[in-house]
Every structure is written in C-alpha cells, then in structure tokens.
C-alpha cells in the first residue's frame, strides 16, 4: 500500500497541485493500491515541496522521482512500449509544462492582485486570523522572488500573456485530437500535460490564464479525455 502525500483541496480543485495530480493519475493507471493524505505546509515535506510518496518504508519526494521509482518497481510498466523518440518528446513536453507554463499558472494565481484573495483563503484559510496576513504576505513575496529569478517575472503582464499563448499553442498542436500522445491508452506524459491543464481550466474562479487556455479547444478536450480515461479528475 502506497501513501501519496499531497496538498489539500483548494480553488474548487480536489487535487490542486499538478505534480500531486500527475502522481495520483499514475498510481491509479498502474492499478496500485494507495491512499492520498494531505499536508497544507509543503515546508514539512522532505524537500519542501509536494508530493512525496511513502513506499515500503521509503520516502520518495518529487513526482518525477516517484515516476522513476514506480517504473523500476513495476518492471518498466511506466514507459513500456515507448520508443526513444517518443520518450524524448514526452520529456520535452514535460519541461515545457512543468518548468515554464506551470510558473505562469502560479503567477496567475499568486501575483494577480485581483485573484490574490483566493490564495489567502484557499492556502492560508485554516491559519488563525491573526497570523494569516503575515504568513500569506511572506509566502507571496517568496513566490514573486522565485518568479523573478526564473525570469518570467521580469516581463510585463502583456509579455507574460504572450509567453503563455505560445506554450498553450504548442501544447494544443502537440496533443492528438483522438486517443493519447503515444497510443490508445493514456500514459505518464499524458498525465503530466492533463494534470497541469486541469489546474488551469478548472480552478475557481477563473484566472487570466484560464481565459487564454479556453481558446485552445483541442487541448481542453484532450485534458478531459485523459482525466476520464484514468478516472482521476483534478476538480471535485
């Protein structure tokens, strides 16, 4: 029995983190027995980020390292049937989704002054009212610094929207109109793309990024198809 440790629900999302949702989809697709538990402060995770997996007395942080572990312990079922070229394409899409578009999603939630109150309620709502403003403001400052260091945070909102459009157009063109990236069944790279897009399409209320993403119908339909096929949805 595995335990996946994830963030608690927020913003209308049952599983609000794309990385946690991806790991949950993979565990389900592999038909492994698992529970999902929640901690609201990622600083308590072994590497300060969620998810991590508790497996056979071991703790494995990071959704990609979880993926590698599950591949190794299921005799290669995670990447079974993928050619080297397909795997390369999957890794490239993963980097686009998780190391670029993900940060724009984070900024659309945390750094838009109009959306910010939802973050305070969704992520800090359980803190005593007296410390909530301090804790949330400190965390927001850290997100702003990280976004700046990443580079995207140096651009105007209009320019960020341009980066987001190019990411979304690339994903929309990369995913198929039927079935999944590499065949008739969804796999790890479908879970990577669909889990991120679920958080963009389904977080409530919509962010400015949700509005942009809604123009990409193929990507939206595909994200729904992946979630339906595995039976794991990001939203409630």
Ligand X SMILES: N[C@@H](CCC(=O)N[C@@H](CS)C(=O)NCC(=O)O)C(=O)O
- Which residues lie near ligand X (CB under 6 A)? 7, 17, 19, 42, 48-51, 62-64
Is 12 or 42 the residue whose CB approaches ligand X more closely? 42
Q: How far is the CB of 47 from ligand X (least distance, A)?
A: 8
Helix or strand holding residue 59 (H, E): strand 58-61
Contact 192, 149 (CB under 8 A): no
Minimum distance between the CB of residue 104 and ligand X, rounded to whole angstroms? 13
Question: Residue 158 CB, nearest distance to ligand X (Å)?
Answer: 26
- Residue 20 vs 213, nearer CB to ligand X: 20
User: Which residues are CB-neighbours of 42 under 8 A, at least 6 positions away?
Assistant: 7, 48, 49, 50
50 vs 230, beta carbon nearer ligand X:
50
In angstroms, the CA 187 to CA 174 distance is 15
Supply the minimum distance, in Å, between the C-beta of residue 49 and ligand X. Answer: 4
Pick the closer one to ligand X by CB: 4 or 50.
50
How many CB atoms sit inside 10 A of residue 76's CB? 11
CA distance 67 to 28: 12
């Amino acid at each position: 029995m595995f335990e996946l440790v994830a963030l608690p629900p927020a913003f209308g999302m049952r599983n609000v983190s794309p990385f946690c949702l991806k790991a949950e989809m993979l565990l389900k697709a592999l038909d492994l027995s698992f529970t999902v538990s929640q901690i609201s402060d990622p600083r308590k995770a072994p590497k300060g980020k969620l998810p991590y997996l508790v497996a056979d007395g071991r703790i494995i942080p990071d959704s990609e390292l979880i993926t590698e572990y599950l591949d190794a312990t299921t005799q290669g079922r995670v990447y079974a049937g993928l050619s080297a070229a397909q795997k390369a394409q999957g890794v490239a899409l993963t980097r686009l989704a998780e190391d670029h578009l993900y940060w724009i999603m984070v900024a659309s939630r945390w750094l838009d002054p109009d959306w910010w109150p939802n973050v305070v309620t969704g992520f800090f709502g359980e803190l005593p009212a007296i410390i909530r403003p301090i804790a949330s403001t400190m965390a927001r400052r850290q997100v702003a610094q990280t976004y700046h260091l990443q580079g995207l945070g140096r651009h105007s909102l209009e320019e960020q929207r341009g980066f987001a459009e190019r990411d979304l157009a690339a994903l929309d063109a990369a995913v198929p109109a039927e079935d999944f990236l590499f065949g008739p069944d969804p796999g790890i790279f479908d879970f990577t793309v669909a889990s991120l897009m679920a958080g963009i399409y389904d977080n409530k209320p919509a962010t400015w990024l949700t509005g942009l993403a809604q123009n990409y119908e193929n990507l939206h339909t595909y994200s729904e198809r992946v979630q339906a096929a595995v039976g794991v949805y990001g939203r409630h």
